[in-house]
């Protein structure tokens, strides 16, 4: 486990305009000072990320979030219930210097989240200002859910890296926009039902590319082609079952939380065997299944 000196090293890297790999409860992030355009540019460079795809500003708490974004009652209610945790809110920007134009891809909105992982929180409280952190994968690849996977993806570009062990959730945060009507831009482990219980009905992102610029068709993809809703593997395919044992089983007991936590790691591990393809069993659509199926559809190259 990282020491206080490791946390200081990560904060120093951010202060120097360099990048740091940070664990969160969802996936590992590649972090930079949100107010520093050169540092933010280095993130886009390291990931090979299209510049029109904005980043999430990570903050220590609601107080820091309210300094950069304009919260209404619904936003405050959601933050009260789900922060710190795996929920990102897209809100009107208040302080355009604190989260630079490049980080927002020029939008007049900002995505903000207070992560729950103790190491991420320690860095954010010590740094005291917003930190942008996309998932630490190269663009289009599965998000890293272990320290080793994060270092393999973008470690060469980071001055500091904190090992927080395997990510508990394993899927990226739920993204909800509160610009006009509340809209689910990216399903995640905070489910649609949980959000609707707090603020009422959510509209879908649909294919409004301007509203959710990061929702590209081919995303989260391993090298091998992915076939979803498969009943069984074909010759040469690696097999990711659900509710059955197997070397790449998402969950032997058919547990959605476990499947979410295992998804990206199993895609990577299956991919390392260089199969002709990767076949994935059907995953039930309810609850957390919405987010798992969203990632699987994109890994397979379908627009969600």
E strand spans, 114-249: 131-132, 160-161, 174-177, 183-186, 203-204, 226-227, 237-240
Which region among 34-42, 76-84, 173-181, 289-297 touches ligand TXA (by CB under 6 A)?
A: 173-181
Contact status: 142 vs ligand TXA (CB under 6 A): no
Q: Which is nearer to ligand TXA, 134 or 142 (CB)?
A: 134
Report residue 228: phi and psi, to 5°.
Answer: -105, 170
Does 26 engage in binding with Mg ion (CB under 5 A)?
no
Q: Which residue has the tokens 């998000």?
A: 143
> Peptide bond preceding 215: is omega within 30 degrees of 0, i.e. cis?
no
Q: Which of 170, 182, 214, 289 binds ligand TXA (CB under 6 A)?
A: 214
- 304 binding partner (options ligand TXA, Mg ion, none; Cβ < 5 to 8 Å by kind): none
Q: Which region, judged by CB under 6 A, interacts with ligand TXA, from 49-57, 63-71, 223-231, 255-263?
A: 49-57
Question: Quick one: which of 24, 35, 64, 135 contacts Mg ion (CB under 5 A)?
Answer: 135
**Residue 37 partner contact from ligand TXA, Mg ion, none using kind-dependent CB cut-offs of 5 to 8 Å:** none
Please state the φ and ψ torsions of residue 260, each to the nearest 5 degrees. Answer: -60, -45
Say if residues 110 and 132 touch (Cβ distance below 8 Å). no
* Nearest to 19, CA basis, from 136, 143, 164, 160: 160
Residue 175 within binding range of ligand TXA, rule CB under 6 A = yes
Cα–Cα–Cα angle for 195, 301, 55, nearest 5°? 50
Interface with Mg ion: number of residues (CB under 5 A): 1
The one segment of 13-21, 64-72, 148-156, 170-178 that binds ligand TXA by CB under 6 A: 170-178
Helix (H) or strand (E) holding 199: helix 192-199
Q: Which of 186, 192, 268, 295 binds ligand TXA (CB under 6 A)?
A: 186
Residue 128 zone, left/alpha/beta (φ > 0; ψ -120 to 50; rest): left
What crossing angle do the helices spanning 256-272 and 147-154 adopt, rounded to 10°? 50
Structure-token match 């069984």, residue found: 232
84, 134, 222, 233: which one contacts ligand TXA (CB under 6 A)? 134
Cα distance between residue 133 and residue 55, in whole Å: 7
To the nearest whole angstrom, how small is the minimum distance from the Cβ of residue 29 to ligand TXA? 3
The single residue among 13, 27, 36, 98 that binds ligand TXA, judged by CB under 6 A, is: 27
Binding mask 64-103 for ligand TXA (x = CB under 6 A): ------------------------x-x-------------
Written as six digits, the tokens of 211 are: 């509203």
Rounded least distance, CB 134 to ligand TXA, Å: 3
Select the span of 75-83, 172-180, 266-274, 294-302 touching ligand TXA (CB under 6 A).
172-180
β-pairing verdict for 237-240 and 277-280: parallel
210 class by beta-carbon count within 10 Å (0-12 exposed, 13-18 middle, 19+ buried): exposed
Which letter does DSSP use for residue 170 in this model?
A: -
User: Is residue 140 close enough to count as binding ligand TXA by CB under 6 A?
Assistant: no
Instruction: Tell whether residue 64 is a contact of Mg ion (CB under 5 A).
Output: no
Judged by the rule CB under 6 A, the positions of this chain that interact with ligand TXA are 24, 26-27, 29, 53-56, 88, 90, 104, 107, 109-111, 115, 133-135, 172-173, 175, 177, 185-186, 212-215
């Amino acid at each position: 486990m990282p020491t206080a000196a490791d946390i200081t090293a990560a904060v120093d890297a951010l202060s120097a305009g360099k990048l740091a790999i940070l664990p969160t409860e969802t996936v590992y992030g590649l972090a930079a000072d949100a107010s520093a355009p050169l540092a933010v540019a280095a993130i886009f460079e390291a990931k090979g990320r299209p510049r029109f795809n904005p980043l999430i500003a990570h903050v220590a708490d609601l107080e820091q979030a309210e300094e950069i974004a304009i919260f209404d009652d619904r936003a405050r209610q959601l933050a009260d219930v789900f922060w710190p945790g795996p929920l990102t809110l897209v809100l009107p920007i208040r302080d355009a210097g604190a989260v630079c134009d490049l980080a927002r891809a020029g939008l007049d909105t900002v995505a903000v989240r207070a992560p729950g992982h103790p190491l991420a929180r320690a860095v954010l409280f010590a740094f005291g200002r917003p930190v942008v952190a996309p998932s630490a994968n190269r663009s289009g690849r599965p998000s890293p859910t272990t320290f080793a996977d994060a270092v393999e993806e973008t470690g060469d570009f980071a001055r500091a890296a904190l090992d927080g062990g395997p990510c508990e959730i394993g899927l990226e945060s739920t993204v909800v926009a509160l610009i006009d009507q509340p809209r689910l831009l990216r399903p995640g482990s905070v489910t649609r039902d949980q959000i609707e219980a707090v603020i009422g009905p959510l509209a879908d992102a649909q294919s409004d590319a301007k509203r959710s610029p990061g929702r590209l068709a081919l995303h989260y993809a391993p090298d091998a082609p992915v076939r979803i809703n498969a009943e069984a593997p074909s010759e040469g395919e690696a097999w990711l079952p659900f509710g059955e044992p197997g070397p790449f089983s998402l969950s032997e007991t058919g547990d959605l939380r476990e499947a979410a936590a295992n998804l990206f790691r199993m895609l990577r591990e299956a991919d390392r065997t260089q199969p002709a393809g990767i076949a994935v069993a059907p995953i039930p659509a309810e609850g957390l299944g919405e987010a798992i199926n969203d990632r699987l559809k994109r890994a397979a190259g379908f627009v969600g």
